Structure 1
Amino acid sequence: MEKSKIKFDLEKYKKKVANVVEQKKMFSVMNQTKWKELRNAMINDLPFPPPYICKDILFDDLKLPAFDKDVTYIGNWDYEMLYPFVGIQWIKIRPRYLKHRGRLIDGELIDETEEFISVLKRYSIPYEEENRVFTIYGYKEI
């Protein structure tokens, strides 16, 4: 049995993104280079890849999970998970997680916030921080 393949049309996607940006009167905050630097740093420069949630600019009604508490998983920063960068409206990153230690023992909080901030500053990546969640915008409204 042959698996069906969905062909992704990057140029069509970019045009749709550009239309939404124009309609919503948004401006670009990050570029392709900055997204690549961020992604590579999350994999190579930190003790663990931090968990995140990401909003694609084309999906307004998408129900994203709550991200207001520490989580028990790390982030998957594989290229395929974030590509194409051009469509990222924002990404929220929590550079902490609760490491599982057993059923009867509370998780151990692993916190790399200081290292994370250092990476953002090293690569001049603009961010906002609220309640230990860092938001990096691809686009913002004027």
Structure 2
Amino acid sequence: MTGKQPTRSERTARRDADLAALQTHWNEVALPRLKAAVRAEVERRGLTSFMNRTRWQALRDAVVAELPFRPAFQIQNVLGPRETPWRVDGVDWQGTWIDEDLEPLFGIEWIRVVPRYRTRPGALVEGPVEDCTDAFRDLLGGLNIPFREDEAQTFWIYGYAPADPATLTSPPEGAT
């Protein structure tokens, strides 16, 4: 003979309690361990912090609100495997710029942003290239976010980098 089956409200309450326990474990155990591991790796490699949570959030919010599209990006986390930079000719997708793709913000070593993409009006037909390079550069300047622009007109935004300030320069005053 089996016991009484739980009601829907009992199952919901149990699920909510399980989720709360997972969240508590994340906040009290896993997150502090992850932060400590990032801090240790940053110190081991002699990196300096250039961004904080407020600046990453301001960047994310401005990209979503102010740009004509959300540019594709490649992300390197401090603790992740070393990424090889993409080839950026013919990028045909956009980035999402949502929390789940960027978190944890304290672990971002760098983001490489490609502020253009090739539209595809059909499966086999390539469309024009949409470009927001100037708007993205202005956005970074307006937020006072240090960056490096490379010869491929991609933008490198560093959460952590070697302490050499010459590697990160803002655009000169009046640059367009």
Note whether the superposition's TM-score is higher than 0.5.
yes
Partner of 1:71: 91
Amino acid aligned to 1:83: E
Kept in 2, the 8 Å contact 1:70–1:94? The answer is no
2:153 aligned residue (121, 124, 132): 132
CA distance in 2, matches of 1:70, 1:57: 28
Residue 70 of structure 1 and its aligned partner are, at CA, apart by 3.1
Residue 68 of structure 1 and its aligned partner are, at CA, apart by 2.7
Q: 1:86 to 1:141 in 2, by over 3 A?
A: same
Partner of 2:126: 106
Q: Tell me the TM-score normalized by structure 2.
A: 0.72
2:130 match: secondary structure? strand
Residue 64 of structure 1 and its aligned partner are, at CA, apart by 4.9
Residue 62 of structure 1 and its aligned partner are, at CA, apart by 4.3
Residue 67 of structure 1 and its aligned partner are, at CA, apart by 3.6
Mapping of residues 1-142 of structure 1, within 5 Å: 8=26, 9-59=30-80, 61-64=81-84, 66-130=86-150, 131-142=152-163
Residue 66 of structure 1 and its aligned partner are, at CA, apart by 1.8
CA distance in 2, matches of 1:83, 1:11: 14
Q: Tell me the TM-score normalized by structure 1.
A: 0.89
Say which structure, 1 or 2, has more relative contact order (CA 8 Å, 6+ apart).
1
C-alpha root-mean-square deviation of aligned residues, in Å?
2.1
* Superposition misfits of 4+ residues, deviation over 6 angstroms: none
The percent identity for this pair of structures is: 34
5+ residue gaps in structure 2? 1-14, 16-21, 164-176
CA distance in 2, matches of 1:67, 1:11: 36
Kept in 1, the 8 Å contact 2:76–2:83? The answer is no
CA distance in 2, matches of 1:104, 1:86: 41
Amino acid aligned to 2:111: I
CA distance in 2, matches of 1:64, 1:100: 26
Amino acid aligned to 1:134: F
2:118 match: secondary structure? strand
> As a proportion of its length, which structure holds more helix?
2
5+ residue gaps in structure 1? none
CA distance in 1, matches of 2:124, 2:99: 36
Amino acid aligned to 1:85: L
